[in-house]
Amino acid sequence: MKVYTKTGDKGTTSLFGGDRVPKHHIRIESYGTVDELNSYIGLIRDQDINPFYKQVLIRVQDRLFTVGAILATPPAKEMLKNGKERLNIPKISEADVELLENEIDGMETALPPMTHFVLPGGHTTVSYCHIARCVCRRAERLSVHLNEIEPVDVLVLAYLNRLSDYLFVLARKLSHDLQADEVKWMPEKL
């Protein structure tokens, strides 16, 4: 199979199920941003961090492929004519969301309570987490926008929301682990 098909040379692409849409379609923007997020998470995973975090991030990357496949499938194409599901992949589950919540809770036990907003930065690895968090929020916003046009699985929306929280807490935990300075945002007085 060749990487290039030439079918997108005029600015359209195929969704799962065969429908062709413009490459700027909100569905393409949604799963394309999830793909971008997955790449940034790979960058975090490539850093010198605790192997446990790497294993969690591999799980997250796997789930993001599932999210992308779900977002690439219009609701009308989710089922085959014989009544079987078109996507032969696991769905996002409550357990996937709970995994992120449990990881957040576990990391927060080792961190001082937050009293201020924190400026992104302090260490390259921490900065990658903050970039991933921002891309995750964008993926969430785009998916919510898509949901206003066509329904999106509510667990996909919940997963993206919780993942951005996880990435924020991971950034704080890595700041702690790497002994990087966490710079509190202190608004200037007028």
Which is nearest to 164 in space by CA: 134, 119, 128, 123? 134
CB 142 within 8 A of CB 37: no
Does domain 12-75+91-177 fall under CATH 1.20.1200.10? My reply is yes
SS3 for 190?
Answer: coil
Q: What is the CA radius of gyration of the chain?
A: 19
How many H-runs (helices) and E-runs (strands) does the chain carry?
5, 2
Domain ranges of the chain: 12-75+91-177
The tens digit of pLDDT for each residue in 148-182 reads 999 999 999 999 999 999 999 999 999 999 999 88
Instruction: Give the other-Cβ count within 10 Å of 125's Cβ.
Output: 20
Looking at per-residue confidence, does 123 or 12 come out higher? 123
Q: What angle do CA 62, 144, 84 make, to 5 degrees?
A: 55
pTM across the whole model? 0.89
Q: What angle do CA 140, 142, 144 make, to 5 degrees?
A: 70
Tokens of 81: 């004519």
Tokens of 113: 């309570």
Q: What angle do CA 88, 139, 79 make, to 5 degrees?
A: 25
The tens digit of pLDDT for each residue in 47-90 reads 999 999 999 999 999 999 999 999 998 876 555 556 666 667 77
